[in-house]
Amino acid sequence: MFLTRRSTRLVSAEEALPGRDTPVLQHPVFHEIFGTRLDQPPAGTEVAHFGLGCFWGEEKMFWQTEGVKLTAVGYQGGHTPNPTYEEVCSGRTGHVEVVRVHFDPTMISYADLLQQFWEAHDPTQGMAQGNDVGTQYRSAIYTSNDEQAAEAARSAEVAAKAYAAAGYSKITTEIRPAPEFYYAEAYHQQYLEKNPNGYCPIHATGVTCRA
């Protein structure tokens, strides 16, 4: 992603930027695919949070998954309240770029989402994902309840064995109860949409496209 700082050391709470009282995303904001408000999840859904590298493409992967009813991207797992994108990219907030996934458990299980999570990135890279280097790109699963925590632990054990058998290093995925989720700026939501100029926000203007 743009503006990446290559910080691979997690900051402490004392070192973190102070942030602000006001969220960077002011609701109501509507999901451009589902047509529903980001802060009003559909009835009967459960929520999951995944950090697996740059959130631009990963959100699209999840919203295209059958049984997922709403997605959003944001920041989680750090110290700075209501951080901006630039602050997260500086490595001075401790946050991870994450995708919030609201899913219908009668259509897709949390275990299925975990399988998708493991297959969509390399969880052995530590504070990086591919060419994206920084603490904001670390692999993370933030669980919403005890059942998710148990399922995540089981899936991590299976994944660790699979990666070891394939000759990879140990998985570095952070698994813990979900800390506060801060919505990312509007132009990051539902970011990837191909057009003649490259990949651009599908509902924002004046933002540079990328090939």
CB 143 within 8 A of CB 149: yes
Q: In the structure encoding, which two tokens stand for residue 27, read together? A: 């609701």
Closest to 33 measured CA to CA, from 153, 173, 196, 202: 202
Please identify which residue in the block is written with the tokens 């000759």.
167
Is 89 annotated as catalytic? no
Q: What b-and-e string marks burial along 170-184, b requiring 16 or more CB atoms within 10 Å of the CB?
A: ebebebeebbebbbb
- Residues 6 or more apart whose Cβ sits within 8 Å of residue 113: 48, 50, 62, 65, 101, 103
Q: What residues are annotated to the active site?
A: 54
